[in-house]
Amino acid sequence: MNEFEPFIAKYSGYLLAGVDEVGRGPLAGDVVAAAVILDPARPIIGLADSKKLTEKRREALFIEIQQYALSWSIARATVAEIDQLNILQASLLAMKRAVTGLSVQPEHVLVDGNKLPQWKYSAETVVKGDSRVAAISAASILAKVTRDREMCEFDHQYPGYGFASHKGYPTQMHMDALELLGVTPIHRNSFAPVKARMAQIDLF
């Protein structure tokens, strides 16, 4: 069974979208967002916060969500947009793109966190929404699987950084590789550790 903390939305219809993003904390890669409208007639068993699921379970649910959801959409904000706008605004932009990309437009949107994008939709925020609302949980799974797959591809493109392991987050392995190998085109130049590494290069 799906187990979520109680949350009652202001909207009680079935065109309810959940939206979430993945990738605010990493030093590299895009921030990826997803939006999902679940179909009450085709429930998906086992939805939960994507971070609490195994990779195998996330991959299985990724397929189920795309098969059984009434509508779903995956979007992003690029590394260049993150550097230009800042990570919060880029995350909100990615979520807005995900919702507007839905083939079935929602009547109400539940957004994970405590910030709403600027848009026309009726919406409300849900703190820890990925563990409280099934549609947000589904969105978090789509976003995380998509971004994790991309970081695994970057691991082959930029060997030595360990992207498949840490997914761009500032682990010690990643920091050591950044110091040794330098900055790649997928690194976020506005983030302090990357900016510091680039400053070292500028000194020589």
Structure confidence by residue, pLDDT tens digits, 26-35? 999 999 999 9
For the domain spanning 16-150, the CATH number is 3.30.420.10
Q: What is the pLDDT, as a whole number, of residue 200?
A: 81
Q: What is the pLDDT, as a whole number, of residue 4?
A: 67
Amino acid at position 67, single letter: Q
Name the pTM for this structure.
0.94
Q: What is the pLDDT, as a whole number, of residue 3?
A: 58
* CA distance linking residue 123 with residue 110, whole number of Å: 6
Q: What is the 3-state secondary structure (H, E, C) of the chain?
A: CCCCCCCCCCCCCCCEEEEEEECCCCCECCEEEEEEECCCCCCCCCCCCHHHCCHHHHHHHHHHHHHHCCEEEEEEECHHHHHHHCHHHHHHHHHHHHHHCCCCCCCEEEEECCCCCCCCCCEEEECCHHHCCHHHHHHHHHHHHHHHHHHHHHHHHCCCCCHHHHCCCCCHHHHHHHHHHCCCCCECCCCHHHHHHHHHHHCC
Query: Which residues of the chain register pLDDT less than 50?
Result: 1, 203-204
Q: What is the pLDDT, as a whole number, of residue 75?
A: 98
Q: What is the pLDDT, as a whole number, of residue 10?
A: 83
Measured between its terminal Cα atoms, the distance across the chain in Å is 59
Q: What is the pLDDT, as a whole number, of residue 202?
A: 55
CA of residue 118 relative to chain centroid, distance: 18
